[in-house]
Structure 1
């Protein structure tokens, strides 16, 4: 049975990637709606042409309300405020939603949690299959290496990314902290400057780079005396995220109300 997918932020970099990913997917996944903000100059454009694929007959519209009855699942990689509004609209209609947006406040996350009681939601900091494999490897490494190593998380993204550290970096830190039974809020160190003193073993450090057109690099280092283990993922194209999100949309249609992540989609839990 065909899964009809809607995309918000359809004219943006990730939106166009998602359109392309749907076009390259199996026949049971179909682009059914493309949404942009009301002030966009691209309203009325053909979504296929925006993605460089030629016309597909899906016209970019300014409102989710105008097309929500035509879709089974919405994919949202926009900004927190817009995503929250879309989550609430989808929950009211029982429409599934795949969330790739990051940077939510605690209050916004609570809204998502409540909406998941009404509809199926898949929320992940990163939809890349490779990154999600890294999450499993990080859990294993942390449990084996334990408190005998210093742990640092490095991430780099393009100059336009507005939140830091990245949601993926924070998720990596959370995986490690959970494996070691640490409270990330208490042990995270976000950057260092000046006379910081000797490093405390239990801390988990984060370093952030914003430059050029870097799609996304993440490395977690487990450093001991005489050796270190590094688990790295480097994305060279947004298509890795797009393929994963589209895969999640197809999977989500068959799920009951609840809050899921990409680990659920891939069967890694």
Structure 2
């Protein structure tokens, strides 16, 4: 979508606007020709409240960071949210009330919380994905293809690494990788996942999907899926060097939601990878 004199720019609100991901989103919106930052949210008590959301760029966006949900969201047609599950659901309730469409990059939702999101999707359009990166989602498609071809005789391990500040493990992306693989093989991840190994574990059980987690430094996000067979190994890896890829993917999701009235979608829908 290209903005013209007759095409209004997409009005976007950003949750957690003064955080690391929030700032990447603000910068991506500021650099976009068809999007505009119309509102910015942060927690009550944040020292950033009342300041321009793009001040860190030396720019004036006209959107002051605020904590009043109704006030902020009434100025937007879309919300991009990379916060925490409880906060996202609070934001989503107001978005459903106001008809604001939502791009959710938050991870760590429980099954009950996912059910709440699905209920809200009956009132507005929601794009929920554990990773907005175009490359990661193409990787998921490759994993789907590999899992179908390597459905017997291969042990599957998923290794992920993130920065030391990440609070959930395994990452939402790693879990999504496991879900994609399990579904491609006609199974469910909850029946196959092994999240911990310690002490005398015995031999590896057949058909399990193992997870390993690394946390340290400022690693943005590395994911490797290993298919280990007899005499060969296939490794499919994606490495992120910047959160900018998540921000650009989020804007692609916004453009997709602009054509949807309601319903729940993911990045496979956005990137037309469903076929």
Shared fold (TM-score, shorter chain, > 0.5):
yes
Q: 1:42 matched to which residue of 2?
A: 48
Q: Which has the higher contact order (CA 8 A, sep 6+)?
A: 1
Deviations 1:114-172 (A, max 9, x none): 00001000000000000000010000001001121000000000000000000000000
Q: Do the aligned residues in 1 keep the contact of 2:81 with 2:103 (CA within 8 Å)?
A: yes
Tell me the alpha carbon deviations over residues 223-266 of structure 1, each in whole angstroms, 9 at most, x when there is no partner: 00110111000000000101101111122122121000011111
Q: Which residue of 2 aligns with 1:10?
A: 17
**Contact 2:30 2:61 survives alignment (8 Å):** no
Q: Please give the secondary structure, in 1, of the residue aligned with 2:106.
A: coil
Determine whether 1:31 maps to 2:37: yes
Of 166, 178, 186, which residue of structure 1 is paired with 2:183?
Answer: 178
SS in 2 for 1:47: coil
Deviation at 1:197, TM superposition (A): 0.7
Match of 1:56 in 2: 61
RMSD of the TM alignment (CA)? 0.9
| Matched-pair contact (CA < 8 Å) for 1:29–1:250 | no
Runs of 4+ that moved beyond 3 A:
none
Indicate if the aligned counterparts of 1:147 and 1:201 stay in contact, CA closer than 8 A.
no
Gaps (5+ residues) in structure 2? 1-6
Q: SS state of the match for residue 37, structure 2?
A: strand
Q: How does 1:225-240 map to 2 (within 5 A)?
A: 225-240=230-245
Normalised to the residue count of structure 1, the TM-score between the two structures is: 0.97
Query: What is the rounded CA distance, in whole Å, between the counterparts of 2:252 and 2:26 in structure 1?
Result: 13
1:70 match: secondary structure:
coil
Contact 1:248 1:265 in 2 (8 A): yes
CA distance in 2, matches of 1:103, 1:163: 6
SS at match of 2:47: coil
In the TM superposition, what whole-angstrom CA distance separates every residue of 1:189-212 from its partner, at most 9, and x where no partner exists?
002111111111210000000100
Which deviates more from structure 2 when the two are superposed, residues 106-115 or residues 121-130?
Answer: 106-115
